[in-house]
Amino acid sequence: MRPKVAIGILVCAVGLLALIIFASKTFRPQPAAVAENVSATAPVTASTTVATVPAAGIPAADPMPIYIPPPPIVTNDPAAHAKYVKQRTEELNDLAMNNDTDSRDAILAELRTNSDKQIRAAALEAAIQFDDRSVVPQLQQIADETEDPDEKADILAAIDYINLPSLTEYLADHPAPAGTPIVRQPPRQRIHRPQAAPTSQ
Amino acid sequence: MKKLKLLTALAVAGIVGMTAHATGASGFETINFKLTAYASTNDTAKLVKIKITNKDVLNQVEQEFGNVAITNSGAKLALGSGGIFNGTGDIYVLNKTNGVVVDASNVNDNQYQLGFSFDHEATSAPNNGDKETTMAVGHFTFSNASGSTAGDLQGLAKVTETFKNNNSGDSESFKFTGTGNGEYHGTSAVVTGTISTSGKDILDIGLLP
């Protein structure tokens, strides 16, 4: 084999290797603390493929779910990004109103892996609205892994809030005494703007 | 080249899938309650701190209407069509498929109340433009049937409306930050926090020709 051919093959091999390494880094799910960028992952729903493995720092009975999200989609279009954030926030809100562990784990996986700060914030709100203290160990672990001080503080504040007794729990523990005074406020009048001719919906 | 084409195809498929999947309830704005109550107590030197989220509100609504579907998994709170100002202002419970379970603001023959009201409105560009911001003094009122559990919050309400052609695609987001009084089974409380909504296809007949 001539030296020029050998060198050419070597250069091609190195280039291919670099391409593979770049691709693997680009398509790997990002940890919660990574710097903000414009990439966005495709929606992850409660039905997304799940594998569970035990994780350090949380009870063995509550293994850390690992979601395998689809490859991230990079977009530089602010409108497309805003649309994605709005849509994924709505989906997370819907998941928050469920009571099943798949929904809980999907919310937490989004908080842990999504590279988009806005989506992570929406996932944290969904974790709060899920209203189940079983999210706390994983939230604590995510907080421990989060480098952004503001995000870390938000997660820790959310943990404190989730650990509070809920109104439902409080009322169950404090039954209404007989003869509780009625404290009804008078109904307020709503303001309305001048209306154009009504249109059918 | 084939790998590049495959990656491109995957990316396009992902974008298509992303845009095709929409779960928002058309014509409704989903509501999130995130309130904290500080309740009096005779037991300790500390106030009792209580969280109030969507599922607590749903529980209260279920007790009023006696419909277990209200607290089924997936049921959610939503503001009715028309937006925060020009709709009826009623709060609905929707099921998992966005069907209406109950108009939770419907006042029965008792003390029950649930809803928003506003006054002292300031608007950025009324009746003009494709985006409008409104600040108002908002009030949120709740009382259960007997009046034994109640709350009345007042605070700043910020409403952002984005208009499209012919009402279709109108969207609105609303954030209310308020503080007020609560009454929980004979215990008085101070309540503070946020109530936010967002939705699309909000018919805003007062602002469009």
How many CB contacts within 8 angstroms connect chain A with chain B? 180
Percentage of residues in chain A having pLDDT higher than 90: 41
Task: Check if the beta carbon of residue B61 is closer than 8 Å to that of residue B106.
Answer: no
Contact A98 B73 (CB under 8 A): yes
Mean pLDDT computed over A153-177: 94
B38 touches chain A (CB under 8 A): no
Mean pLDDT of A84-88: 88
* pLDDT score of B116: 85
Which tens digits make up the pLDDT trace of A13-68?
A: 665 555 555 444 444 343 333 333 334 444 444 434 333 333 333 343 345 555 54
Chain B CA closest to residue A99? B73
Reported as a pLDDT band with limits 50, 70 and 90, residue B109 is low
CA distance B209 to B206: 8
A100, A168, A180: residue with CB nearest B56: A168
Q: Is B134 exposed, middle or buried (0-12, 13-18, 19+ CB in 10 A)?
A: buried
Q: Do B85 and A191 touch (CB under 8 A)?
A: yes
pLDDT tens digits, residue range B112-154? 889 888 888 888 865 555 788 889 999 999 998 888 899 999 9
**Minimal Cα–Cα distance from A120 to chain B, Å?**
17
Q: Give A-chain residues touching B139 at CB under 8 angstroms.
A: 188
CA of B66, closest CA in chain A: separation in Å? 16
Per-residue HEC secondary structure of chain A comes to: CCHHHHHHHHHHHHHHHHHHHHHHHHCCCCCCCCCCCCEECCCCCCCCCEEEECCCCCCCCCCEEEECCCCCEECCCHHHHHHHHHHHHHHHHHHHCCCCHHHHHHHHHHHHHCCCHHHHHHHHHHHHHHCCHHHHHHHHHHHHHCCCHHHHHHHHHHHHHHHCCEHHHHHHHCCCCCCCCCCCCCCCCCCCCCCCCCCCC
- The confidence score (pLDDT) of residue B28 equals 80
- Alpha-carbon span B70 to B172, nearest angstrom: 25
**Where residue B41 falls among pLDDT bands split at 50, 70, 90?**
confident
pLDDT tens, position by position, B177-201: 999 999 998 889 999 999 998 877 6
Minimal-distance CA residue of chain A relative to B12:
A73
pTM above 0.80, yes or no: no
Q: The domain containing residue B105 runs over which residues?
A: 28-200
* Predicted pLDDT of residue A19: 53
Q: Are A83 and A49 in contact (CB under 8 A)?
A: no
- Give chain A's mean pLDDT: 71
Picking from A84, A187, A189, the nearest residue to B18 by CB comes out as A84
Asked whether residue B2 is domain-assigned, the answer is no
Structurally, chain B folds into a number of domains equal to: 1
Residue bearing the bigger pLDDT, B84 or A142: A142
Whether B4 is in a domain gets the answer no
Mean pLDDT for A107-116 is 94
pLDDT of residue A3: 65
The pLDDT, as a whole number, for residue A174 is: 87
Mean pLDDT value across chain B: 78
> Does residue B7 belong to any structural domain of this protein?
no
Distance CA A187, CA B197 (A): 22
Q: Distance from first CA to last CA of chain B, Å, rounded?
A: 53
Query: What residues of chain B lie within 8 A of the CB of A76, using their CB?
Result: none
B3 assigned to some structural domain: no
Q: Nearest by CB to B14, which of A73, A97, A188?
A: A73
Tell me whether B21 touches chain A (CB under 8 Å): yes
Q: Tokens in use for A133?
A: 């203290």
**B58-96 per-position pLDDT tens digit:** 999 999 999 999 999 999 999 876 666 666 678 899 998
| Angstrom distance (rounded) from CA A82 to CA A71 | 19
- On whether any CB of chain A is under 8 Å from the CB of B117, the answer is yes
**Mean predicted confidence (pLDDT) in A145-163:** 97
Are residues B51 and A167, on separate chains, in Cβ contact within 8 Å?
A: yes
DSSP B130-156: SEEEEEEEEEEEEE-TTSSEEEEEEEE
- Is residue B92 assigned to a domain? yes
Q: Is residue B71 part of a domain?
A: yes
A2 or B93, greater pLDDT: B93
Report chain B residues whose CB lies below 8 A from the CB of A191.
85, 117-119, 121, 136
Flag whether B12 is in a domain.
no
Q: Which of A140-154, B139-153, B158-172 has the highest mean pLDDT?
A: A140-154
